[in-house]
A and B are shown apart, each in its own frame.
Chain A
């Protein structure tokens, strides 16, 4: 017994000294991130969000999206576009230096775009397909020649591709080598100081940053795998921000807590009820319209997101987006749903509670939902309940993301068809911001409508889409986009349920200059450095 007592005393003594060792303050801003992002260079970062956002703290693209997602000149001081929209002449800022002290010149820019054309990168290689040639007539000037005018060139290409240092990357020539390359010399406001795989990243401000002083001395990015734990860590002060949007049920609690600020804004990620338009029954517009009328999106927003969401617009585009066709709205009504079904001859002929087509096929469908996304599962259950009310039977099938993708979007190639009836689905914020989103989503050719997973076909949409992709003037873009949304709202190839707001919580004492990028959140370069002056 005495031995036990002595051991216990030693243990207590040791434990008592430990907390002092761990609580040492670092003075850095700590942001919990959800996963490993490789070595943080352009070929090893992993996720579109937050990976790209963090990578662009180390590297600079030529343009950068501002708080309204408008691309603003970044490494570039002056832009001239020829009247045919096919020649872009850019003048770079002088005095931009790589983290190793060498100057960043037009040669690096030319090298970068030729590099991503050659060494496949899933995000950038496709956006350079339209490039005809790049020239670097002098160290400050770059000339891009395009095969055709390109609506998305500024945002999708110039504001997305980070410029690589030629002197470092020219010896890395294959995809495999690039994906294993861990050099992180960039030109961005932060330098990578330490990478502890699976644990954290440490970045320090680059004192010679061309755009002026960096507002944070050091960034520490610990990997916190579980979302709830990352919010607890913000609450307890172990991190200053979680890159993940806060759960709606935590908002009130966080708003009450001293030292924590909650910022909220529209979110551009969408939640949809996706129809398979090649399904023999669902290709009938009347049926889709009845289903949409039975779904109470207002109630869904209240129940699932506690009101922290915007009800879906039937034209897909978020009302806060500059491309939104104003006034477009979907008024759901259960009575209307029933009327449409009756009129179309979908009646319950055998009194089993499920309507049948005139040929006798019951209106019974499988609705897929993603196991990793509890909100979508609950949304699917609501849809099932509401559709049961109007005599449509739904089996909800929950599977992991990859398995759902395998049915809805096999091999991520819409040319390969689809094997589903209905699916809960959603697209991330970039699908909302790029001007060509409606073309990608709804053009009937699987080469052009690369994310048209429902197999929607409409000749008028195709014609407008082809016009939109070569339109450079942003007002004209908006007009065409509005016309397209009106057609989509009539045809209902998808039923847009809602767009969840982006809510982020941070500790103001560590850093209080966060900039909220509409639809995406505060993890943007603009939170750490002001845009370069012309």
Chain B
């Protein structure tokens, strides 16, 4: 067991180092300099010395290997660095953005998983029925719908036309609210982005659950359970669904890894102040440290989710435990 864990530890450490190196290299390989995004067109009017000074203030005048060593050193001490664009510590910016992303993506994952599981289960039970075929059609539709388009349609219909929900933002701008009014206002703003993200996340879960359920329903113990004369509900939920949930556990773990990276497209369409939009803006602005930091957090959370899955899987699937 100890050897197993140590082996895994080394493996993850290597993955982390590789990912961190990639995080460092990728933004710098993109064409375009961060300078213009700091200076705009006027950068053309700066003298060579002034340009160098601006670059120095960002640490970009250093050779690449030195920037890399410094970056690793900073990471080791938990320092994510400063944003080129905003001049602020990145940890501070992320702390502002992360709660919004966790709220949006977390709730969407939860809702999409629950709905996907229940829906997939029910549909598999009635395989071949109109309900099954209709469900497959609907899920294929949402699976293939671009999220920005769905978001735009929701804005046009539910916000602009029907006025049920606000068009943008996480809270009504410029109004100070507290207590329940604040919670209500936040929920009201959350509704559309949450609905969009949930709708496009459901089909993946639904399809996996349906397929897994179909496999389980073919097993002999289900026939046995039916033959025993158990109620339909009991067969579905107790005998079939529980076992069909195993592949879902893996999917949920994988999804969990991406929770902190936010939903870039949806956060952008709805002007939601999450980590995904931060990343999008950082890429546009060539804000290297912010790109690095958001990818770093993503890397760490994906690895953490994998570790968690490795540790939890034996607990939920006895076969893995015995096989070892």
Contact = CB atoms under 8 A, between A and B. Distances in A.
Interface of A: 14-15, 17-19, 21-22, 24, 26, 28, 30, 32, 35-36, 38, 44, 46-48, 120, 122-123, 125-127, 129, 174-176, 179-180, 194, 196-200, 202, 218, 220-226, 228-230, 232-233, 235-236, 238, 399-403, 405-406, 409, 411-414, 427-428, 430-431, 440, 450-451
A439 to B, nearest CB: 12
Given A21-B181, A225-B268, A200 B169 contact: yes
Nearest to B48: A413
Nearest to A400: B32
Pick the 5 closest A-B CB pairs, nearest first: A402-B32, A122-B39, A220-B174, A200-B173, A179-B87
Nearest to B88: A180
Contacts of A428: 41
Contacts of A440: 44-45
B152 interface: yes
A17 B181 CA distance: 10
A174 B57 contact: yes
Given A176-B87, A236-B159, A222 B173 contact: yes
A123 B39 contact: yes
A46 B42 CA distance: 12
B168 A233 contact: yes
A18 B88 contact: no
A38 B47 contact: no
Interface string B146-182: 0000001001100110011011111111110100010
Contacts of B300: none
B66 interface: no
Interface in B41-65: 41-48, 50-51, 53-54, 57
A202 B44 CA distance: 33
B210 interface: no
A18 B187 contact: yes
Interface stretch (B120-128, B245-253, B271-279): B271-279
A38 B93 CA distance: 12
A223 B174 CA distance: 12
Given A194-B174, A228-B152, A411-B35, A223 B271 contact: yes
A224 B32 CA distance: 25
B44 A226 contact: no
B184 interface: yes
Given A232-B159, A412-B44, A225 B271 contact: yes
21 contacts: A18-B185, A22-B172, A22-B184, A30-B173, A46-B85, A123-B39, A176-B57, A176-B87, A197-B93, A200-B173, A218-B174, A220-B174, A222-B173, A223-B271, A402-B30, A406-B31, A413-B48, A413-B51, A450-B45, A451-B41, A451-B44
Contacts of A431: 41
A93 to B, nearest CB: 29
Contact of B40 (A19, A47, A197, A198): A47
B127 to A, nearest CB: 22
A129 B57 CA distance: 21
A259 B47 CA distance: 49
A412 B166 contact: no
Contacts of B172: 22, 24
Contact of A413 (B38, B44, B269): B44
The residue among B173, B181, B273 with the most chain A CB atoms within 10 A of its own CB is B173
A220 B174 CA distance: 6
Contacts of A198: 96-97, 273, 277-278
Contact of B86 (A38, A402, A427): A38
A36 B93 CA distance: 12
A412 B33 contact: yes
A122 B93 contact: no
Contacts, number: 184
B44 A450 contact: yes
Contact of A22 (B43, B88, B188): B188
Nearest to B59: A176
Contact of A403 (B32, B38, B152, B156): B32
Interface in B110-162: 152, 155-156, 159-160
Nearest to B44: A450
A204 to B, nearest CB: 10
A197 B96 contact: yes
A28 B172 CA distance: 12
Given A47-B40, A180-B87, A229 B188 contact: no
A244 to B, nearest CB: 13
Contact of A202 (B166, B171, B174): B174
Given A19-B188, A22-B188, 7 more contacts: A19-B164, A36-B86, A36-B281, A402-B33, A412-B44, A413-B44, A428-B41
Contact of B57 (A179, A221, A413): A179
A22 B189 contact: yes
Given A126-B42, A220-B174, A232-B159, A403 B271 contact: no
A2 to B, nearest CB: 14
Contacts of A451: 41, 44
A226 B32 CA distance: 23
Contacts of A179: 57, 87
Contact of B160 (A14, A21, A235): A235
Contacts of A126: 42, 45-47, 50
A386 B188 CA distance: 51
B36 interface: yes
A161 B60 CA distance: 27
A506 B302 CA distance: 46
B45 A220 contact: no
Contacts of B40: 47-48, 122-123
Contacts of B166: 22, 238
Contacts of A26: 174-175
Given A24-B172, A200-B174, A229 B87 contact: no
B281 A35 contact: yes
A414 B167 CA distance: 43
B32 A427 contact: no
A198 to B, nearest CB: 4
A456 B223 CA distance: 84
A232 B88 contact: no
